[in-house]
Amino acid sequence: MKCRHRHRLHEGRLCDHFSRKRPRLQHRENGPFVKLPLEIIIKILSELDHKALKACSQVSKRLRNVIQESSVLQYHMQLSSLGYIDGPRELPHLQSSTVKRQALSDLEDSWSNLRPRGQTRLSPIKTLAHSMLVGGIWATCDAHGSEGPTISFTRLPSVLRDVEIQNRTIRLTTPPIEFAIDPIQDLLVVIEKSTAPEIAYRLHFRTMSQNAPHPQALKETIEYLLPGDFEEELHIKISGKLLLVLVTLYNNDDGEPEYTTLVAWDWQAGKFLASYDGGKRVISSFAHLTPSRLMLAEHFLYPDTLAKHDPHLRLAFFDLCENPDGNYHFLHAGSLLFPPMRCPDDWGERRVSKFDILSDSGPLIMHEPLDHPSPFHPCSTSRLFVISLSLTDDSDFGFTSYYNFDFCVPFAAILKAIPLPSGVVRSRYSTPKVDSHGIDAPPLRGSKKYVTPESALRALAAEQKGLNWVTWAQKEVSVSDSVYIFQPDSF
């Protein structure tokens, strides 16, 4: 053979270069860390995620044995790998890490294989009833019941929380147009529409348990003036003391949005904080990203004759910030753009009929009764937002075409594209002053959301440019689509 080291042939033997013994690396099994008490080692390792723990198990036999034999670390690794964080440590029915780990495995198996561990039959919901599910509480509102307006609360049974089904109903004096609940704060927000002396929304803050004025609310009710009598749609979200309401008022002639405004209150202080109307864009929906950052789904709305133009779909992010004088304002932190919606030649009067953000009710997934907490829950950084988009074409007489898209957007992808500590220049939306007539927010104002291609281009030129689809979503977001053609019964 020829040796590359000395460039000469050897007969049946290796040269010194190959036969020389090299010292083997010795693992330090008796290092200072592994000499610590076992409880301290487990406590330190519990601060690592599952990937770091797997790496530690390859450092030495001592660490590998500690990680494999510790029920605490095995439970911690399983939580981290599934995107969960631990709940209360002392629960009557789940008192050890071994029992919690088995409960987590049972939950994962139940969802992965679609094997429910129990069945519960609920009362049927009336067609026009409002309903919502928050923190294991199924709430329904019957505004026109035979015994007057009522709201029913059903605590759903849970194996993990060791909860049996419970039902309770409260009566209201006036039919509400919308409501929201937060079981953690025992908060019920009821919105009524007043017509005397002016058209306004009246927001009531009650307790879910007693249907009494909430003790943490300095004002039992607050009001919000409206510009006229419109068909309305309200979306409410609660996060701590922050109450957010997206108000959409529709034109009675064509059913398109006339106004869209996101309004923020401190419900405990009864104080209006800030509002944002979307400018030239329609605000379709919103969600909490963090307790102080909001994500809004926005788009342009064109008249039917210009419906083939790109609606410029985007997710806009705003921070709710406090001024030194105590007032609040929205700061635009950035935008994520969706692909241009190019219209096929056979497409008629296309319009965006739905652009919704589907997510949990709050930013931290902690909306659960304190007397029956969950032993573990999803981590906020493992959240998944589903953006549901529907494009509708009903220009062909007798047929309506629906093009549906679902975008699965991980929280991590959003955080990577628009980090929370943003250093870029951001647009500012100042807080309007509260008027002197005791109204807790200024009147809703704005203009009809129809735009022309020219006005849309001017709005795009004046605003901060967002990240295009290829930059932020191409390798992070999954998309599914479907087409549905509806033909109504012939007359």
Final residue in a domain of this structure, among 58, 76, 110: 110
pLDDT attached to residue 112: 83
Any domain includes 13: no
Residues 209 and 87 in one domain: no
**Helices (runs of H) and strands (runs of E) counted in the chain:** 9, 23
Tokens representing 81?
Answer: 């790998």
Tokens representing 282?
Answer: 């329609």
Number of C-beta neighbours around residue 164 at 10 A: 11
Any domain includes 491: no
Instruction: Give the distance, in angstroms, between the CA of residue 93 and the centroid of all CA atoms in the same chain.
Output: 30
Residues 64 and 205 in one domain: no
Residues 77 and 223 in one domain: no
Compute CA distances 423 → 298, 330, 331, 420, whole Å.
Answer: 23, 16, 12, 9
User: Which residue, 369, 404, 362, 367, is CA-closest to 383?
Assistant: 362
Alpha-carbon dihedral of residues 53, 54, 56, 61, nearest 10 degrees? Answer: 120
Any domain includes 22: no
Tokens representing 190?
Answer: 């009821």
- Residues of the domain holding 45: 28-110
Any domain includes 8: no
Residues 85 and 135 in one domain: no
- Cα-Cα end-to-end distance for the chain: 93
382: domain CATH number is: 2.120.10
Written as one letter, the residue type at 208 is M
Q: Which neighbouring-strand residues pair with 205?
A: 189
Per-residue pLDDT of the chain (491 residues; tens, 9 = 90+): 455 555 444 555 555 554 455 555 444 555 677 778 888 888 888 888 888 888 888 888 888 888 898 988 999 898 888 888 887 777 777 778 888 888 888 888 888 888 887 777 777 666 556 888 887 888 998 887 778 889 999 988 888 877 888 889 999 888 898 999 998 899 999 998 877 777 788 899 999 999 999 999 999 998 888 776 777 888 999 988 999 999 888 876 666 777 888 999 999 999 899 999 888 889 999 998 888 899 999 998 876 655 567 788 999 999 998 888 888 889 999 999 998 876 666 656 677 888 999 876 555 444 455 555 778 877 777 788 999 998 887 766 667 778 899 999 999 899 999 998 554 333 333 333 433 333 455 555 545 566 777 777 787 888 888 999 999 998 899 999 887 766 555 43
Residues 101 and 137 in one domain: no
Final residue in a domain of this structure, among 62, 77, 110: 110
Residues 162 and 52 in one domain: no
User: Which residue, 217, 224, 219, is CA-closest to 194?
Assistant: 224
Q: Which neighbouring-strand residues pair with 481?
A: 405
Give the predicted TM-score (pTM) of the model: 0.80
Written as one letter, the residue type at 450 is Y
Q: For residues 259 and 444, is the Cβ–Cβ distance under 8 A?
A: yes
Residues 238 and 369 in one domain: yes
Any domain includes 341: yes
Tokens representing 260?
Answer: 């869209």
Written as one letter, the residue type at 275 is S
Any domain includes 123: no
Q: What is the C-alpha separation between 287 and 4, in angstroms, rounded?
A: 66
Residues 327 and 435 in one domain: yes
Any domain includes 11: no
Final residue in a domain of this structure, among 110, 141, 165: 110
Residues 68 and 106 in one domain: yes
Q: What is the C-alpha separation between 215 and 401, in angstroms, rounded?
A: 51
61: domain CATH number is: 1.20.1280.50
pLDDT attached to residue 430: 37
Q: What's the structural domain count of the chain?
A: 2
Residues 90 and 136 in one domain: no
pLDDT attached to residue 217: 95
Number of C-beta neighbours around residue 342 at 10 A: 8
Any domain includes 20: no
Residues 392 and 475 in one domain: yes
- 368 burial (CB, 10 Å; 0-12 / 13-18 / 19+) is buried
Instruction: Give the distance, in angstroms, between the CA of residue 135 and the centroid of all CA atoms in the same chain.
Output: 14
Residues 169 and 246 in one domain: yes
pLDDT attached to residue 423: 40
